[in-house]
Amino acid sequence: MPMRSLLHSAFTSKLYVTVLVAIALGAALGLIAPEIGASLEPVGTGFISLIQMLIAPVVFCTIVTGIASAGELTAVGRVGVKALVYFEVVTTIALIAGLVVMDVFEPGRGLNADPNALQLSGAAEKYLQTSESQNWYDFLVQIIPHSVVSAFTEGNVLQVLLIAILFALAIKALGSRGEPLARGIGRVGEAVFGVVKLVMYLAPLGAFGAMAYTTGKFGLGTLTSLGSVIALFWATGIVFSLLVFGLIARLCGLRILKLYRYFKDELLITLGTSNYEVVMPQLMRKLENLGSPKRIVGLVVPSGYAFNGDGVCLYLGFASLYIAQAFNVDLSLWQQIGLLAVFMVTSKGSAGVAGAGFVILAATLSTTGAVPVVGIMLVLGIDRFLSTMRGLVSLSGQIMGSLVVARWERALDLERARAVLNGEPVVPLPDRDGSAETFPAPTADAVANTAGPS
């Protein structure tokens, strides 16, 4: 293949190649010219904002059309209960894994940090103030929006989820009279996904800006001084994803490495932007293409972004014991179990809160009193590097959530899933516009992905 054709293919039809190159260039720019790299923060945050503005309409349209076209409403409730059971089990495993790793490796030992010598920065104080105003039941109250419009303008996924479910139930109650309305919302959803496809052309630019900002602002100094902590957390996240999610994938009849290869675009965008929310729209589309029904994807994925933060839970166990070890605070087994129990509650109470990982950590340390809350300053400087792995692990959890529930419901098209993962052509989904649209496969000859410019 001529070089020109190869470059054209790489930079127009293979999003993962373009994003990977953009990440490398951004990292290089941030290291070579830190001031220029740090100044590119708006490029990364601008792309994230563009995608986040579309998440609410994507969630609404997907859930309404999914539930409205479903059979018995009891199935919807059954899916919700199974999803919550899965979320609770896996997040608990993540919390335990974080604690166990820290008990074994003890990277905080020897720091001999003095809590009296640390002062909360402005950012840390903001997280602490937010945590003090949070209660375990707040997410139940905050699910109810002030108005229908505010749920969309504030971008609260839980509130949009509630409105969409109620609206879908109302359409179901209309019977045949509600079918045209459901089809109309489905068409609106197709248009919204079209906008997502256009915005995704900017994904390499967003990844470039975000990576340049990260390396330019924090640089090699942070990596050198606390590199062992960062490396341990990344190693923990990778092993957790391969072992835990690998086992879950096998139970679903699939292989985890093939799943990661299929979702490589989403993983690389998360790697570049340190934000896994931006890939929600195309994640939902690709899960549907993989054989998980729209009614399950539309309910499990949005709720999973609020309740299934596996990466955040892994971080909570990790960071809390790192701070305790740095202060030479020895926590007994029962104290760690108590910490685990509190995390299981507070991690749900901060659903939808900005900087949820730090808010939950500060809230739990304040509640238990076993570890000085000022210790969050010890991990604040490296949070940007930790948040990337948090996002990757949490994204893995979102991928598996819909597949597990679909398999549990005996609704997963396993034959289609295996065909897609093996790079074999598949028939377009029946709820699309009927055009000659094909779907992505993880091979070099695969056709373009409708969820983005790849």
CATH number of the domain located at residue range(s) 15-421 in this protein = 1.10.3860.10
pLDDT mean over 53-70:
82
Nearest to 237 by CA among 389, 104, 382, 379: 389
* Listed range (24-28, 380-384, 391-395) with the worst mean pLDDT: 380-384
* Listed range (43-47, 271-275, 439-443) with the worst mean pLDDT: 439-443
More confident residue, 98 or 122: 98
pLDDT mean over 326-347:
83
* Listed range (79-83, 176-180, 407-411) with the worst mean pLDDT: 176-180
* Listed range (193-202, 220-229, 335-344, 393-402) with the worst mean pLDDT: 220-229
pLDDT over 70 at 119, yes or no:
no
Q: Which residues of 364-388 are buried (b: 16+ CB within 10 A; e: fewer)?
A: bbebbebbbbbbbbbbeebbbbbbb
Residue 40 pLDDT: 87
For residue range 11-55, list pLDDT tens digits in order. 455 777 888 888 889 888 988 888 888 888 888 888 888 888 888
pLDDT over 60 at 2, yes or no:
no
Residue 439 pLDDT: 37
Cα–Cα distance measured from residue 430 to residue 423, given in angstroms and rounded to the nearest whole number: 20
- 441, 420 Cβ separation under 8 angstroms: yes
* Listed range (234-248, 271-285, 344-358) with the worst mean pLDDT: 344-358
pLDDT over 80 at 354, yes or no:
no
For residue range 173-189, list pLDDT tens digits in order. 888 888 888 889 888 98
pLDDT mean over 97-102:
93
Residue 1 pLDDT: 44
CA angle 176, 406, 249 (to 5 degrees): 160
pLDDT mean over 393-414:
93
Q: How confident is the model at residue 399 (pLDDT cuts 50, 70, 90)?
A: very high
Q: How confident is the model at residue 430 (pLDDT cuts 50, 70, 90)?
A: low
pLDDT mean over 236-259:
95
Q: How confident is the model at residue 261 (pLDDT cuts 50, 70, 90)?
A: very high
Q: Phi first, then psi: give them for residue 345, nearest 5 degrees.
A: -90, -50
Residue 137 pLDDT: 56
For residue range 190-201, list pLDDT tens digits in order. 898 888 888 888
Residue 444 pLDDT: 36
pLDDT mean over 264-280:
87
Q: What is the mean pLDDT of the chain?
A: 79
Cα–Cα distance measured from residue 386 to residue 237, given in angstroms and rounded to the nearest whole number: 10
- pTM for this one? 0.80
Cα–Cα distance measured from residue 415 to residue 98, given in angstroms and rounded to the nearest whole number: 36
pLDDT over 70 at 3, yes or no:
no
H helix runs in 175-279, sequence order: 179-199, 203-225, 227-251, 256-262, 264-273
Q: How confident is the model at residue 123 (pLDDT cuts 50, 70, 90)?
A: low
pLDDT over 50 at 143, yes or no:
yes
More confident residue, 417 or 383: 417
Nearest to 386 by CA among 253, 204, 218: 218
Residue 450 pLDDT: 36
Residues 6+ apart with CB under 8 A from 87: 303, 304, 307, 308, 401
Under DSSP, is residue 278 helix (H, G, I), strand (E, B) or coil?
Answer: helix
Residue 103 class from Cβ within 10 Å (0-12 exposed, 13-18 middle, 19+ buried)? middle
pLDDT mean over 56-74:
78
Please report the beta strands in 132-193, taking only residues with DSSP state E, as ranges in sequence order.
none
* Listed range (14-18, 224-228, 400-404, 406-410) with the worst mean pLDDT: 224-228
Q: How confident is the model at residue 443 (pLDDT cuts 50, 70, 90)?
A: very low
Cα–Cα distance measured from residue 263 to residue 256, given in angstroms and rounded to the nearest whole number: 11
Residue 397 pLDDT: 93
